[in-house]
Structure 1
Amino acid sequence: MSFVRIGGVPHHVVVEGSGPVCVLSAGLSMSWFDWDPVVPLLAAHRTVVRFDRPGHGLSGPASVPPSAAGEAHRIAALLDALGLGDRPATVVGHSIAGFHAEAFARLHPSRAAGIVLVDSSIEEHARVPAAPALRTAVARGIGAALASMGAPTALGPLVRRATVRLSRTGGGDPAPADLVRRCYGTSRVLHGALLENTHYRAVAAELLVLRERFPLPDGVPVTVLAAYDGRGGRFGLHRLERQRALARQLGDARFYAVEPSGHLIMLDRPDAVARAVLAPGEDRVNPPPGYVTC
């Protein structure tokens, strides 16, 4: 566990294992330890890099609003700071970090060894909202007001636990209680989550522009993992179809429906994430139980 400074902000980073480089980036308000079940499956074969974006986990507070290009360049700068910049990396992005992983491959094609999108966020028709500076100010104001009332300490860990439980098909939050309090009991993480949520649609709209201007690099495998609880409900099937459409849009990327799994696939099915990194495409022939190709 260490910290590297990027853009003046200290970034918390954990590097484990050896071999080709793999970067794990979690979704909005998630932390490095949410990848804990996946790392043991990868570390014997990959140099696994986990980091917290500004305002997440143990990293310093965000100094500027997020952007798709900014997050792509952040991944590149992180690898440079770790002395891994000369080695192409497979970037695994969960939820909103799927935007960042795709942007990295488009803006740094020579540095991308692969992309794995873990139940990625999808916005097919996003537009940049008006008055971004005002939105940032409002988000910071709400964060300051909640912090002044003690909301992060009183409610942060509870909200984290409840969110994780609702985002899984079974089981609660496996994260250690001390780490949850250390991260989610702070106004820093509250501010980080509010800022990313406020600019979510702007980041999504920016990615749509990047798709038009910067093609994905040839020969770089792209894998889309879609969460599916197996219940067959309308909402679940609709989400599954949107993930399948994303795979088609990204040059007929490999698509796998991971069943049973909630949105936090890395907690429900860490084996599926590891397979997507270590053997992209091989499971099309003989997928293991609960790892369905479509």
Structure 2
Amino acid sequence: MERRLYVLAASAFIASAVLYCAWITGQFTTPAVDRAHGYVGELAARDQPWTRLFRASDVLSGLACLAGVAMVPRIEREWPGWLALAAFGLLTVAGGAFPLDCAALSAPACSLGPVSLSHHVHIVTGVLATAAVLTAMVLLGGRWRTRVAWLVTGLTGLLTVLSVAAVAAGQLAGLAQRLQVTLIAVWLVYVALRLLVRDAPTLVPGPLHVVREGEGPAVLIAAGAAAAWCHWDGVAAELASGHRVIRFDRPGLGLSPASPVPPTLHGEVARLAALAPAHPERVTVIAHAMAAWHAEAFARLHPLRVSALVLVDPSCDTRRGRDGTSFRGAFGGWLPALGGTWGATALARIAGPPLHRLLCGRADTHGLYRKGRVLAATVGEWLARPGMAADLRRIRTEHAFPDVPVTVLCTNVRRGCLKRLAEELNARLVPLPASRFQARLHVADAIADAV
């Protein structure tokens, strides 16, 4: 998948370069714009006949550049250069969205009348876009250290200086700028070629992050979707004085590395079996939300290794007849690779901390939700829900539930599916106060009492 991401990113940069060169056709379709002295941006001026076409080309070119940067697998020391290239794409989009009012250099009368805010914005974004792409050339060229990178960067910088001088002199500004934007397009193609020949990183699964504390009977805690070991600090503190508490992060979540394999119910059962004490010792499993499916399947498939279950706000299976193996399965296979891209990292850093505070009621002190792999793992588990539900239904028909005590703690005991679950597992149904349950601090004693 990592190699395919490189190919997709390279394709996006090539598309951006082609769209960025749409001005070439404008030399024949818009004769009113002076080829030697007029700006390239004048082709998209509001008073020109093909303004919508060239404005759309600019916007699509910028979006393609942004998509290319978003799909590039993350390499730590290259982030300033890719950030500058993303800024270039964003400013190119803004330049297409805010066109000139008229052909400023080709039609001298244009500068005599008042111009709109859009006219000024276009000029500012054009200058900033040039500065951004030059910055990207210098930073990425410095990392790559190739002659081609430095040659294109040097020529683009020289032509930028010549363009400024030509504008000041009022002569040949259009010619200098056309050479300059051509070299920028060449740079985008060169970036694409660099990605195509670069060795794709291989996602190798590493050991899970596991925390063990206390002595006594074993208690294994399985966190809900997107949660980490640290969300159970309060429960672990309550239990550690008389139990051996085992907490862990599933692949991609918390401090555990990502896995190239999408999550499955049987995979999660195998994970619980590997973390639980060996037979004949038994373990009490505390499971929250969707992890309750993992715990129930573990109890049915390994009945001699479970002493009790405590299911906290367990998820309900409401997707009967659907296993989600088509689009969800295909897209889920891409997620581990997507979690290592610049786009996933940027989205996680922007949205992760505020979402964590909103859902958990406290700050993300460990910085876990600023990582793209955590975002990808969260989406992957959500996509895997229908498949896990279908597997759980099959396990229920083939394996009887063992005779072990089960406690279901929930904030809404009147919920029909929870009542049915409690009846099926012969469980004790215990109400909890409604809250942001991920915090889990104020209900730690209730969970400990259930154990």
Q: 2:323 aligns with which of 123, 128, 136?
A: 128
Query: Offset at 1:35?
Result: 0.5
Q: How does 1:49-198 map to 2 (within 5 A)?
A: 49-79=246-276, 84-86=277-279, 87-126=281-320, 127-131=322-326, 132-137=328-333, 139=335, 143=339, 147=343, 150-164=346-360, 172-173=361-362, 177=365, 179=366, 181=367, 183-198=368-383
- Report the TM-score, using the length of structure 2 for normalisation: 0.51
Provide the C-alpha distance between the structure 2 equivalents of 1:176 and 1:157, rounded to a whole number of angstroms. 6
CA deviation profile, 1:158-210 (whole Å, cap 9, x unmatched): 2211122xxxxxxx22x662x0x1x1111111111111111111111111111
Alignment RMSD, CA only? 2.3
Give distance in 2, aligned partners of 1:149 and 1:22: 34
- CA distance in 2 between counterparts of 1:158 and 1:223 reads 33
Partner of 1:284: none
Unaligned runs of 5+ in 1: 1-6, 165-171, 229-236, 278-294
Equivalent pair of 1:223/1:253 in contact (CA under 8 Å):
yes
Higher helix proportion (structure 1 or 2)? 2
Deviation of residue 64 (structure 1)? 1.1
Q: Residues 265 and 98 of structure 1: is their aligned pair in 2 closer, same or farther, counting only changes over 3 Å?
A: farther
Structure 1 position 125, deviation (Å) = 4.4
- Identify the residue that residue 47 of structure 1 maps to in structure 2: 244
1:222 aligns with 2:222: no
Does 1:13 pair with 2:187?
no
Residue 435 (structure 2) pairs with residue 242 (structure 1): no
One-letter amino acid of the structure 2 residue matched with residue 222 of structure 1: V
What is the Cα deviation at residue 124 of structure 1? Answer: 4.4
Output one character per residue of 1:36-92: Cα deviation in whole Å (capped at 9) or x when no partner: 11112111111000000001100010221111121111111123xxxx323211111
**Larger of the two Rg values belongs to structure:** 2
What is the CA–CA distance in structure 1 between the aligned matches of 2:439 and 2:346, rounded to whole Å?
A: 32
DSSP 3-state at the match of 1:58:
coil
1:215 is displaced (CA, Å) by 0.9
Give 1:200-211 correspondences, 5 Å limit: 200-211=385-396
User: Within 2, Cα distance between the matches of 1:214 and 1:194?
Assistant: 30
1:195-232 residue CA offsets vs partner (Å, 9 max, x unmatched): 111111111111111111111112x111111114xxxx
- More contact order relative to length (CA 8 Å, sep ≥ 6): 1
TM-score scaled by length of structure 1: 0.76
- Give the conservation status (yes or no) of the 8 Å contact 1:95–1:119: yes
Change over 3 Å in CA distance of 1:271–1:241 after alignment to 2: farther
Shift of 1:16: 0.7
> How many residues were matched structurally?
245
Q: What's the offset of the Cα at 1:137?
A: 4.0
Give the equivalent residue in structure 2 for 1:288: none
C-alpha contact (below 8 Å) 1:129/1:202 kept by paired residues: yes
Q: Which moved more, 1:34-43 or 1:123-132?
A: 123-132
Indicate the residue corresponding to 1:266 in structure 2: 440
Answer whether contact 1:227 1:263 (CA < 8 A) is retained.
no
Identity among equivalent pairs (%): 37
